[in-house]
Amino acid sequence: MAKYLSNNGHGNRRPRRSRHKWHYYIPTVIMVVLAIACVAVIGWVIKSVSDLHDPSLNDGTGQIIIDTGSSSDPVTEPSTEPTEGAAPVDELIAQADLLAAGYDYDAAIELIKSSPEFEGSAELGDKVAEYTLLKSKTSAYAAPHTVTHIFFHSLIVDTDRAFDGDEDQDGYNLYMTTVDEFKAILQQMYDRGYVLISPYDLAYENEDGEFVYGDIMLPPGKTPFLMSQDDLNYYSYMIGTGNGKNNTPIFVDGNNDGFASKIVIDNGYPKCEYVDADGNVHIGDYDLVPILETFIQEHPDFSYRGARAILGVTGYEGVFGYRTKPNYQAELDAMHAADPDKYPSYEEEVAAAKEVAQCLRDHGWILASHSYGHPAYGNISADRVAADSDKWENTVEPIIGETDVILFPHGSDIHTWREYPADNAKFVALYEDGFRYFFNVDGNQYWNQLGNNYFRGGRRNVDGYRMYHDPEKLEDLFDVETVFDDARPLPVPGKDGTSM
């Protein structure tokens, strides 16, 4: 991408301001567009497996099973989605109710009033009155600096294979969360009134080029929070045999460690491919993205104005499970030439990853840098930070699109807790690369900082280490005792300096 010009450290320019505005309105726009699109395609949404956008699915690992990840937890379309033959007014109200459930009462009212049926309809008039009353009960969240931010890595689907005693077991036990734990966490946080918000709603660059807290308009009893996931790459060590750090792309095989292997698009929604221990390929809710997506469809009031989590990707093994690293191109194209049914071409792989990125963005997910090679930015020189970030911009951003959010690898920040000095060489390099939202890892319940020309926040790891060693640090979010997965080998080891 083109680099953003430096503002010479004075913070008076408003780089990418229009993009902030655009981000701000995306959730509302997308919800309406999606609702309309659903009506348009209602007649043919029952898809065949050929629509999975995934040329590698039909390779020899076994049958393809389309499911939703859990028989007890079926994917339901939003309850407010219009059904075939529904009256237009009912459809309109369903769409408006969905907007109102996500606390966007103005958009709900506007949608109702935009209807030609509005004049003279008592039912629609009542709806406007209802939304107006609900809106009057909201107020701006009083303490935005206390908004907490939790983060996860890839979720463990099959604990038998993740905790099989091999060399990766301790890392998974320390830094990963299981699917069952994640689902329990979501439910408990929802029950406690937590509402997922976007960092663009928490803080944004105002007309004067200064970062300020936004007004998060919520009813009493609701608590906003941020969520992110690091390393949404489906690395070779998790999904197969071999080392994907060299020039040879590694694809999923039956020896995977019980994780999903890629994000795919299913009926317009992000889902995961997962290969079980018998080699069967499943499409469903096998990682954070589709699980949270399904949860929000079932509980639209868990998401503030369509917010989803932030997803951080590195570049050294491709993104979202697609082997898009440019160094793979020669070998992948050779593999494709030798066995075109089993392996996609490099070009096809890049195209598929771009489609996934667009699908994620369309649903409100924020895509972020997690660096190219996962070095600890705090421990390397400014020149190396700049070089790593440039490599990410040159090889990852063309695929996932522009972003102004970075999740520091290892949580390693580029400066102390004090504000970034305008002449800090690492900050200058990242600022010039377009980053405005910086997130480290911090054990505190919350830590947020409004800089002059940036926003910075701490994130809490919700993983085996934290749940086992510091359960009291998670008490505000959920009850660890009822969440902790019995399948974990105990004790969860202490940290020995390794991290993911």
- Tokens found for residue 352: 């598929």
- Looking at residue 420, what DSSP letter applies? P
Segment contacting Zn ion (CB under 5 A): 4-12, 181-189, 347-355, 409-417?
Answer: 409-417
Nearest distance, CB of residue 410 and Zn ion, angstroms: 7
Residue closer to Zn ion, measured from CB, 183 or 370 = 370
Instruction: Tell me, by CB under 5 A, how many residues bind Zn ion.
Output: 3
Nearer of residues 231 and 273 to Zn ion, judged by Cβ: 231
- Stretches 109-117, 229-237, 449-457, 475-483: which one binds Zn ion (CB under 5 A)? 229-237
CB of 230 to Zn ion, least distance (A): 4
User: Does 317 engage in binding with Zn ion (CB under 5 A)?
Assistant: no
Smallest gap from Cβ 461 to Zn ion, in A, equals: 11
Spell out the long-range contacts of 415-418 with Cβ–Cβ below 8 A and sequence spacing 24 or more: 417/447, 417/449
Looking at this protein, which amino acid is placed at residue 441? V
CB of 69 to Zn ion, least distance (A): 24
Q: Does 388 bind Zn ion (CB under 5 A)?
A: no
Binding mask 178-217 for Zn ion (x = CB under 5 A): ----------------------------------------
Task: Output the smallest distance, CB 443 to Zn ion, in A.
Answer: 17
Structure-derived torsion over alpha carbons of residues 321, 325, 330, 333, reported in degrees to the nearest 10 = 30
Contact criterion met (CB below 8 Å) for 225 and 141? no
Minimal distance, residue 245 CB to Zn ion, in Å: 14
Residues of span 19-58 touching Zn ion by CB under 5 A: none
State the minimum distance, in angstroms, from the CB of residue 316 to Zn ion: 11
CA dist 171 and 64 (Å) reads 30
User: Which of residues 170, 231, 257, 404 is near Zn ion by CB under 5 A?
Assistant: 231
Q: By C-beta, is 231 or 413 nearer to Zn ion?
A: 231
Residue 323 gets the label, from left (phi > 0), alpha (psi -120 to 50) or beta, of beta
Which range, of 171-179, 190-198, 203-211, 406-414, touches Zn ion by CB under 5 A? 406-414
Q: Which region, judged by CB under 5 A, interacts with Zn ion, from 15-23, 199-207, 231-239, 354-362?
A: 231-239
- The correct pick among 91, 230, 463, 485 for binding Zn ion (CB under 5 A) is 230
What is the C-alpha to C-alpha distance for residues 222 and 218, in angstroms, rounded to an integer? 6
| Distance in angstroms (rounded) separating the CA atoms of residues 7 and 60 | 54
Binding region for Zn ion (CB under 5 A) out of 23-31, 130-138, 175-183, 401-409: 401-409
> What is the layout of strands, in order, in the sheet containing 262-266?
64-66, 281-284, 269-275, 262-266
Cβ proximity to Zn ion: between 78 and 411 the closer is 411
Which pair of structure tokens corresponds to residue 488? 């974990």
Shorter beta-carbon distance to Zn ion: residue 230 or 293:
230
CB 469 within 8 A of CB 488: no
Count of beta carbons in the 10 Å neighbourhood of residue 85:
7
In angstroms, the CA 483 to CA 191 distance is: 14
Q: Is the peptide bond before 491 cis (omega within 30 degrees of 0)?
A: yes
In the complex, minimum distance from the CB of residue 314 to Zn ion, in angstroms, rounded to a whole number: 7
As given in the structure block, the two tokens for residue 115 are 């209807």
Contact at 8 Å (CB) between 253 and 275?
yes
Residue span binding Zn ion (CB under 5 A) among the ranges 67-75, 128-136, 227-235, 244-252: 227-235
Minimum CB distance to Zn ion smaller for 261 or for 369? 369
CB 409 to Zn ion: min, Å: 5
Only one of the segments 5-13, 15-23, 280-288, 402-410 lies at the binding site for Zn ion (rule: CB under 5 A); that segment is 402-410
Residue type, 385: V
In the complex, minimum distance from the CB of residue 406 to Zn ion, in angstroms, rounded to a whole number: 12
How far lies 441's CA from each of 220, 425, 436, 444, 446, in Å?
29, 21, 17, 9, 10
If the CB atoms of residues 231 and 485 are measured against Zn ion, the closer one turns out to be 231
- Supply φ then ψ for residue 224, to 5 degrees: -75, 150
Q: Which is nearer to Zn ion, 148 or 233 (CB)?
A: 233
Closer residue to Zn ion (CB): 296 or 407? 407
Residue nearest to Zn ion (CB): 230
- 242 touches 164 (CB < 8 A): no
Task: Name the minimum Å distance from CB 500 to Zn ion.
Answer: 5
Q: How many residues does the chain have?
A: 500
Give dist(CA 140, CA 215) in Å, integer: 5
Nearest residue (CB) to Zn ion, 297 versus 369: 369
> Which CB atom, from 230 or from 317, has the smaller least distance to Zn ion?
230
Beta strands in 214-286 (DSSP E): 217-218, 223-229, 262-266, 269-275, 281-284
The one segment of 175-183, 223-231, 274-282, 386-394 that binds Zn ion by CB under 5 A: 223-231
Query: How far, in Å, CA of 464 to CA of 470, rounded?
Result: 10
**Residue closer to Zn ion, measured from CB, 373 or 489:** 373
b/e per residue, 400-420, with b = 16+ CB within 10 A?
Answer: beebbbbbbbbbbbbbeeeeb
* CA gap 323, 261 in Å, rounded: 11
Asked if 257 touches Zn ion (CB under 5 A), the answer is no
Applying CB under 5 A, the residues found at the interface with Zn ion are 230-231, 409
